[in-house]
Structure 1
Amino acid sequence: MTDTGQRSTSTRDLDARYGRGQRSRRVEKRILWVLGGVIVVVFAAWVVLVAFDGDNASLETRDVAHTIVDEHAVEVSFSINVAPGTPTVCAVQALNEAHAIVGWKIIEVPASTERNRVITEVVRTSEQSNTGLISRCWLP
C-alpha cells in the first residue's frame, strides 16, 4: 500500500470508530435544520403576539395617598389608568408596622368614559394600620 492509502484507511477506520461517517453528517445537518426551523417559528410567534397585543388590555395603577381614619379604618386613594368603557376589579390593603395585612377590600370599579381616574376607598382594619395601598387590579 502507498502512504496515502494507509492514511485513507486509518482515517476511515477512525471515522467509523467515532461515528464521523457520511451518514452521521447528514443526520447532524437534518437536526440543525429542524432546530433552526423551530427557533424561527417560535420567534415569529413571539413577534406576532407582541405586535397584536392591543391597548385595550392595558391597565396601570399607582398609589396616590392614604389617611389613617382611626385604629380600625384607613382611607386609600389610588389612580387607575384603563381604556374608557372597561370595568376593573381592584384589591386594596392596609398594612401594620410589621408589614402584615390588617385590612383587605375588593373593589369593583365600574366602566367610565375617562381613561384616568382617582379612586378613594375606606378599608376596615382588624388593628391599627400605618399604611394603605393598592395591592393589584385586574380586568374581569
Structure 2
Amino acid sequence: MNREPGLGDLESRYGRTPATRRRDRRLLWGLGGVFALVLVAWVVWTGLDGTSEKIEARDTRHTIIDEHSVSVTFEVSMPVNSPASCAVQSLNESFTVVGWKVIDLAPSELYTRSFTEVVHTTELSNTGLIYKCWLT
C-alpha cells in the first residue's frame, strides 16, 4: 500500500504548520518593534536633544613660508566663553601629513575669531589646513 504523501503531511514533515507560522510572525513583529525602538532612541540621542554645543572651523588661507614651515589662517566659530583646541596640519603633494600642531584657544566674548598659526614641517608642504577643533 504505497500512499503518496499529501500536502498537509509534507508541511508538517518540514515544520510548516500553522503554529510555526504564528510563532514566526510573532518573532518578526517583535524584532520589528525592537528595531523601531532602537531607531527612535538613536534619533532622539543624536539629533533632537539640542544640548550639544557646536564648534565650526573654516580654512581661510595658507602660505608656504619655506621648506620647513607653513602659515595657516583659519576662523573658528564656537560658544562664547568656552575654551577649545584645534589641530592644524600641513600636507605634501601626495596628501601625507608632514606637519601637525595642536593649539589651545582661550575663552572669548566673540563667537567667531580668526587665527594664524605657523606649522613646522618635515619636508616641503603644498597646503596647510585646519584638521579639527573641539571644546575643552
Q: Does 1:103 align with 2:99?
A: yes
Of 99, 116, 121 in structure 1, the residue corresponding to residue 117 of structure 2 is: 121
**Which entry has the higher C-alpha Rg, 1 or 2?**
1
Q: Deviations over 1:103-132 (max 9, x none)?
A: 221101112222111111112223333321
Of 46, 49, 54 in structure 2, the residue corresponding to residue 52 of structure 1 is: 49
Aligned position for 1:92: 88
Percent identity, aligned pairs only, is: 47
Cα gap change, 1:99 to 1:26, in 2 (>3 Å): closer
Aligned position for 1:32: 28
Shift in Å, 1:136: 1.6
Q: Secondary structure at the match of 2:26?
A: helix
Q: Secondary structure at the match of 1:47?
A: helix
Instruction: Give unmatched runs, 5+ long, in structure 1.
Output: 1-8
Cα gap change, 1:28 to 1:60, in 2 (>3 Å): same
Shift in Å, 1:85: 2.1
1:60 partner amino acid = E
- Calculate the aligned-residue CA RMSD, in Å: 2.0
Cα gap change, 1:98 to 1:11, in 2 (>3 Å): closer
Q: Deviations over 1:81-105 (max 9, x none)?
A: 1121221111112233343333221
Aligned position for 1:136: 132
In the aligned structure 1, how far is the partner of 2:29 from the partner of 2:92?
59
Q: Give the alignment's TM-score, normalised by structure 1.
A: 0.80
Aligned position for 2:77: 81
Cα gap change, 1:124 to 1:27, in 2 (>3 Å): same
In the aligned structure 2, how far is the partner of 1:33 from the partner of 1:100?
50
Instruction: Give unmatched runs, 5+ long, in structure 2.
Output: none
Moved more, 65-74 or 115-124: 65-74
* Bigger helix fraction: 1
1:41 partner amino acid = L
